[in-house]
Structure 1
Amino acid sequence: MFIIILFGLLCLLGLVLAWIDIRYGIIPDWLNLTIAGLGLSKAVIVGGFPAGLEAACEGAAIGAIFWLLRRLYFAFRQIQGLGLGDVKFLAAAGIWSGIEGLPMLMLVAALTALACAGLMQLAGRQLTGQTSISFGPFLAIGLLFTSALQQYGSCC
């Protein structure tokens, strides 16, 4: 029952994240920390302190990997392709999904973002290589989908 409440809170935080990122183009640190704290709580409740420590380490590793990818992309293109709030969110999301859930999270995020870009193009909005689209809402969708699948499905 408590896990369902935590997932419900994650859904609510995902909605808040999407609204803030679409409206202001940022993902606040307090929101990422809240998502990370809920994920750690879930891991400790389900698997005890060792599971919480493992989840924290996986989140930190995922954050470090995406921070490095962000830096490399900037070094090659001289523009930011991924915001620092997105990187911090991915670290927090990694606590929930773990490394094994990361491919599904990123696949869902990328596909929903591509679908949105396609709809924007069909609606007449010109998209170029310089067009900025908030990726946080799509990452949140990916996290919610992956978490639900891990909890109630047979994947990841």
Structure 2
Amino acid sequence: MTDDGAPLLSRTEIGGCVAFALLVTIASMILLPPAASLATGVLALFMALITLTDLRHFIIPDLLSLPAVPLGALANIAVFHGEDWMAGLSESLLGAVLAAGTFYLLRALWFHLRSVEGLGLGDVKLAAVAGAWLGPGLLAPACLASALSGLLAVLLLAVRPGRRIGLGDEVPFGSFIAPVILLTWGWRILDAVPFW
């Protein structure tokens, strides 16, 4: 809900996110085992909702980010560590703590240097989601891809006629992180699943 009590997304927008997640789930059933398809569909739903909400309102609701962390641990166990659930849980927890801790330190450092909030706490929590789903091994490429896609979007906006970007302008960074989490998860699965 927004400050005035209105919903963050319309029913049409939520329906579009659900339709996208169903499409991703159905498409992934062609290549992936059932657990991987279901996990991918769940992640697609959460990432679509987060992307759209952050684009519209510059927030990442806890209602979306916080449940996605334990769901990421469950998905990691089910898809990659079925024989050793403790290894999957450890990998997810390490990834979540490493990602959230790094983003929090960046946030604190930027605030200390500039007295301006550069990253919101929603971005920190979304980093924990990335760590839980991707584990520590894929965090660096996911963060790099998110940062580069955000930078490219800002550059494209900066050169657009009639639009100028200033240093004080906000960028919905979660809208760049969330799709990269989904794509990196897909890459991780396709790399690990034997097709022959």
TM-score (norm 1): 0.91
**CA deviation digits over 1:45-72, x for unaligned, max 9?**
2311332133113212221121111101
Q: CA deviation at 1:37?
A: 2.2
**CA deviation digits over 1:89-117, x for unaligned, max 9?**
10111011112101111121112112211
Task: Give the unaligned 5+ runs of structure 2.
Answer: 1-33
1:151 maps to what in 2?
A: 189
Q: Residue 179 of structure 2: which of 110, 126, 141 is its match?
A: 141
1:5 maps to what in 2?
A: 38
1:31 aligns to 2:64 (yes or no): yes
1:102 aligns to 2:135 (yes or no): no
CA contact (8 A) 1:94 1:102 kept: yes
Higher normalized helix content (fraction of residues): 1
1:50 maps to what in 2?
A: 87
Question: Which one has a bigger Cα radius of gyration?
Answer: 2
1:70 maps to what in 2?
A: 107
2:31 maps to what in 1?
A: none
TM-score (norm 2): 0.74
SS at match of 2:135: helix
Q: Residue 121 of structure 2: which of 61, 76, 84 is its match?
A: 84
| C-alpha distance in 2 between matches for 1:136 and 1:126 | 21
| C-alpha distance in 1 between matches for 2:173 and 2:147 | 9
Task: Give the unaligned 5+ runs of structure 1.
Answer: none
| C-alpha distance in 1 between matches for 2:49 and 2:59 | 11
Q: CA deviation at 1:153?
A: 3.0
| C-alpha distance in 2 between matches for 1:123 and 1:15 | 26
- Superposition RMSD in Å: 1.5
Q: CA deviation at 1:44?
A: 2.3
| C-alpha distance in 1 between matches for 2:61 and 2:42 | 17
CA contact (8 A) 1:107 1:142 kept: no
Q: Which runs of 4+ in 1 moved over 6 A?
A: none
Number of residues of Structure 1 aligned to a counterpart in Structure 2: 154
